[in-house]
Amino acid sequence: MLIDTHTHLNFNAFKDDTNEIIKRTLENDIWMINVGSQYTTSKRAVEIAERYDKGVFAAIGLHPIHLQERKVDASEIDSQAVFKTRAEEFDYESYKKLAQNPKVVAIGEIGLDYYYKPKTKNKLEQFKQKQKETFLKQFNLAKELNLPVILHCRVAHNDLIHTLNTKYQLQDSAFSGVIHCFTGNLEQTQKFLELGFYIGLNGLILKNVPALPDPVEIINQIPLERILLETDSPYLTPPQAKEERNQPVNVRYVAERIAQIKKVSYEKVARITTQNAKELFKI
Ligand SMILES: [Zn+2]
């Protein structure tokens, strides 16, 4: 058994065949968590999870890229939507209401993303400030409801580590979470491990991305007991996959690669990472 701890079957890319994809995933003995990126996709993740007795869960949250008006990613939102999405303001109470559904196992994805940043210094400061404030509000929601967090972080690892270190004494609390789609360097890996976080790995470790740290070195530094498997589907399709659109069954390629790097059996990777996900998300 495997658990894809980060997929987006709640996105538009799966709107025509969500049920078939889920059926296929469950038949392959794989469970999944559909992760929200804004209110609409969070709500859809909950609705999907409610249709299944077992193996399908939801995470809800406002992703930092949705705080700005931006061009539509057609795979994420409805195709009939306007060319640009409006910026969403985080509404604590409506997310709280959604989070109280028993299928919701985490607050996420939330975090910092400085990839598409404004050019002027003034705007850049505002942009970062807004992301940090929204992140902390959601972090507080997770604490209030005693839920783990699913963190998204892109070109902002040091700021995220600083925010976590200064705002919360994570080491002293029962608080927990995962840093998903991990792209940090060795030093940052160590810091997230010290903070008690799990590290989420996906198809990125199967690609050769020169701008990122060597995944072999990073994976060797993370104990298997701290690794979670994910696909981030429909994105980050592993090269071995037959279809261009990624999907949860492809999580096995991620497990295979980790087994190869760590020189342990596939079964061991499957067993321990599944246990990790069950513990973190209490499923
Ligand atoms: Zn994601």
d(CA 179, CA 14): 24
CA-to-CA separations, 138 to 48, 134, 169, 207, in angstroms, rounded: 22, 6, 16, 32
pLDDT category at 80 given cuts 50, 70, 90 is: very low
* Ligand 1 centroid distance, CA of 137 (Å): 19
Give the CATH H-level superfamily of domain 2-281.
Answer: Metal-dependent hydrolases (3.20.20.140)
pLDDT above 90 for 87: no
Q: 186 C-alpha vs ligand 1 centroid, how far in Å?
A: 22
Q: 8 C-alpha vs ligand 1 centroid, how far in Å?
A: 7
Locus of tokens 């990073």:
218
Global pTM?
A: 0.93
Mean pLDDT of 247-268: 98
Please state the φ and ψ torsions of residue 248, each to the nearest 5 degrees.
Answer: -55, -30
Tell how far the Cα of 223 is from the centroid of ligand 1, in angstroms. Answer: 23
**The residue to which tokens 């969500």 are assigned:** 18
Q: How far is the CA of 274 from the centre of ligand 1 (A)?
A: 19
| CA dihedral (185, 190, 192, 197) positive or negative | positive
Give the Cβ contact number of residue 194 at 10 Å.
12
Residue range 196-202: average pLDDT?
95
For 215, phi then psi, to 5°, come to: -60, -25
Q: 127 alpha carbon to ligand 1 midpoint, in Å?
A: 21
27 CA to centre of ligand 1 in angstroms: 23
pLDDT more than 70, % of the chain = 92
Measured in angstroms, how far is the CA atom of residue 109 from the centroid of ligand 1? Answer: 7
CA of residue 2 to ligand 1 center, whole Å: 18
Tokens coding 70: 């931006």
> Per mean pLDDT, which range of 162-171, 181-190, 214-223, 231-240 is the poorest?
162-171
Q: Is the pLDDT of residue 235 over 60?
A: yes
For residue 104, pLDDT beyond 50 = yes
Domains in the chain: boundaries: 2-281
Kindly report, residue by residue over 12-43, the tens digit of the pLDDT. 999 999 999 999 999 999 999 999 999 999 99
Burial 95-126 (b: 16+ CB within 10 A, else e): beebbeeebbbbbbbbbbbbeeeeeeeeeeee
The alpha carbon of 231 and the centre of ligand 1 are apart by a number of angstroms equal to: 9
